């Protein structure tokens, strides 16, 4: 069975590959794109990148040049997800290691080989003041109709309804610690 591992289970090709969890998956122009987190040495310490692999069939994978990494983003990349913007562009939302914020990066092409510089997510209260957010990890963002929705992990999950991707809006009293799921708004 060991001889089939690399044929049927996607594994980083060398060395320690933890944590390795998948993030930001897309199907664009007939190609599957998957990013997974890789811990690696960086600036006398360790950091994390989104390694990029592609496949025509989800069985045969090709490693692409890793663009979403600390030398580009200026911070490591923890868990997040991929989504498609209103303009049809692939984008990722993720937690920036050491930044105490979530960030969004938007792809410049359908091959996901070039990205705009990531920018921090600024969450605002309904009165436009800056929202105090205690948990920024494991963010998700998705589009329903003309409205973006975003949620982050933590003891009290923070749910936002951004009117655009530059300023996220935190609606009041949307969720309490006793609410295990999110209701449709």
Residue 147, domain extent: 17-169
Q: Is residue 5 part of a domain?
A: no
Query: If residue 7 lies in a helix (H) or strand (E), which one and from where to where?
Result: helix 5-8
Q: Return the number of other C-beta atoms located less than 10 Å from residue 50's C-beta.
A: 28
Structural domain count of the chain: 1
Q: Is residue 11 part of a domain?
A: no
Q: Is residue 34 part of a domain?
A: yes
Q: Output the tens digit of pLDDT for each of the chain's 185 residues.
A: 455 555 556 777 777 767 678 889 999 999 999 999 988 888 888 889 999 999 999 888 899 998 999 999 999 999 999 999 989 999 999 999 888 888 999 999 999 999 999 998 877 777 778 777 766 778 888 888 887 878 887 655 556 665 566 555 555 444 444 433 333 32
Q: Is residue 134 part of a domain?
A: yes
Distance of CA 15 to the CA centre of its chain: 24
Which residues partner with 152 through β-bridges?
158
CATH code of the domain containing 128: 2.115.10.20
- 8 A C-beta contact, residue 151 and residue 159: yes
Q: Is residue 35 part of a domain?
A: yes
Q: Is residue 179 part of a domain?
A: no
Nearest to 107 by CA among 96, 118, 97, 94: 118
């Amino acid at each position: 069975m060991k001889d089939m591992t690399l044929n049927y289970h996607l594994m980083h090709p060398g060395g320690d590959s933890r944590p390795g969890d998948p993030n930001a998956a897309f199907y664009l122009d007939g190609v599957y794109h998957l990013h997974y987190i890789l811990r690696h040495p960086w600036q006398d310490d360790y950091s994390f990148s989104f390694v990029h692999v592609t496949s025509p069939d989800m069985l045969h994978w090709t490693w692409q040049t890793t663009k979403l990494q600390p030398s580009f983003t200026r911070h490591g990349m923890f868990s997040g997800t991929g989504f498609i913007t209103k303009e049809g562009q692939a984008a990722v939302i993720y937690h920036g290691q050491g930044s105490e914020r979530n960030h969004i990066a938007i792809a410049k092409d359908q091959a996901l080989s070039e990205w705009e510089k990531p920018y921090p997510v600024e969450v605002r209260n309904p009165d436009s003041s800056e929202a105090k957010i205690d948990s920024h990890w494991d963010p998700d963002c998705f589009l329903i109709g003309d409205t973006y929705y975003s949620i982050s992990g933590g003891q009290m999950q923070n749910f936002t309804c951004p009117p655009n991707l530059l300023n996220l809006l935190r609606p009041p009293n949307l969720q309490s610690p006793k609410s295990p799921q999110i209701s449709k708004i």
